[in-house]
Structure 1
Amino acid sequence: MRQFYRAVLLDDDHRLIGYVEPGTQLDEHAWIGNHTVQGVERLLCAPARVAWAPRYIGELYDAAASVAPLVLPEHGCTGRYLLNHDQLGYVDKAAVRENACRHRVHPLPILTAEGGFALHALAGAWARDRISVGDNVPTGFELWKFDVAELNQFQ
């Protein structure tokens, strides 16, 4: 079954800011270097609540359609670190390991996936948390090891 997702951004009060349609299955877009995911990163120069909302859950996916889709910036730095300002954690994208095809899974769609997945403990762990992207880690933030190398477990 092909599952549609929307990357949804919310403000601090959980009100919808907008959404992006990155693609269908996670394996089609959840890769470091994917143009759409990099565009979402560029929107996160300041913390925003983020959720990768699947259509099968419906609530957030459907609600997002009530606001305008976000225009992804074409240019700008995406940053080395994903920062979670609610859990005071971060992921170093440079440390994400390659799979057999020399691709690296992008942590943002997996960590913020609504509904989570039973097959991996990290999936959904940051859903709707305040996330930003940067090149510096704030004092007091703790490194999260992101060890997902294959996405076939999320289909």
Structure 2
Amino acid sequence: MRQICRAVFLDADHELIGYLEPKVGFMKQAWIGDDFIQGVERLLTVPTRVVWAGPQPHPQDIPTDENLYDKAASVAPLVAPRFGFIGRYILNHDKRTYVDKAAVLGGDDRERIHPLPMLTADGTGCEGGRTGGAAALVGAWAGDRISLSATVPTGFEPLKYDLVPN
């Protein structure tokens, strides 16, 4: 899929903070270890609302004909740090769940779909069409407060993330 999807960051009140935009299509960069994804991860040192937004209108956006992808262009793009901490665990502070990136399954080619863009996709084409057995996970965390950590806080439950490349 050639769709370019922005990683859009929102504050606690769902107001735009900024965005990062990759130079390649969504499924070219939705992998564990991708430089762009790691840049997004480095920005999530504190719980921040994040949505992977695509340029097609989301069904709920049809009345205004403006979606989050377009709205993000009204703020300055962020610059992701090239170096810094990248945690093993992706934490959802709203749902009190987490995904262990080390436990993510790989496909036949050993590629592993990164949970962050899939779980936070807004449903405007950023899901890439590769949804092994758990398509319901795509977008399940969109707009939630997300951070990365080396440890799992008390009271957080694991989320079974089993999206694998087709």
Per the TM superposition, whether the score is higher than 0.5 is yes
Query: 1:111·1:124 contact (CA, 8 Å) conserved in 2?
Result: yes
SS at match of 1:63: helix
Do 1:45 and 1:132's aligned partners in 2 also have CA atoms closer than 8 Å? Answer: yes
Structure-2 separation of matches of 1:22 and 1:104: 19
- Worse overlay, 73-82 or 19-28: 19-28
When the two structures are aligned, how many residues end up with a matched partner? 151
| Residue 48 of structure 1: aligned partner | 48
Tell me the TM-score normalized by structure 1: 0.92
User: Does the 8 A contact of 1:83 with 1:89 survive in 2?
Assistant: yes
Task: Compute the TM-score of the two structures, normalised by the length of structure 2.
Answer: 0.86
Deviation string, structure 1 residues 18-73 (Cα, Å, up to 9, x no partner): 00012453211000000000000000000100000011125100000011111010
- Whole-angstrom CA distance in 2 between matches of 1:24 and 1:61: 16
Give the structure 2 partner of residue 63 of structure 1: 71
**Identical amino acids, percent of aligned pairs:** 58
The DSSP-based 3-state class of the residue aligned with 1:70 is coil
The equivalent residue for 1:135 is: 150
Aligned partner of 2:36 in structure 1 is 36
Give the match for residue 62 of structure 2: none
**How many Å separate the matches in 2 of 1:24 and 1:128?**
23
Distance 1:99 1:122 in 2: 17
CA contact (8 A) 2:39 2:82 kept: yes
Q: 2:120 aligns with which of 112, 121, 127?
A: 112
Deviation at 1:4, TM superposition (A): 2.0
Instruction: Determine the C-alpha separation between the residues in 2 that align with 1:23 and 1:130.
Output: 25
Q: Secondary structure at the match of 2:22?
A: strand
Q: Which runs of 5+ in 1 are unaligned?
A: none
Please give the alpha-carbon distance, in whole angstroms, between the structure 2 residues aligned to 1:38 and 1:132: 13
Could you tell me which amino acid in structure 2 is paired with residue 42 of structure 1?
A: R
Contact 1:3 1:56 in 2 (8 A): no
Question: Aligned residue for 2:96?
Answer: 88
Q: 2-side partners of 1:81 and 1:23: how far apart?
A: 26
Structure 2: where are the runs of 5+ without partners?
Answer: 58-65
Q: Secondary structure at the match of 1:68?
A: coil
Matched, 1:125 2:140: yes
Q: Deviations over 1:84-107 (max 9, x none)?
A: 000000000000011111111100
Alpha-carbon distance in 2 for matches of 1:23, 1:12: 28
Preserved CA contact (<8 Å) 1:23 1:29 = no
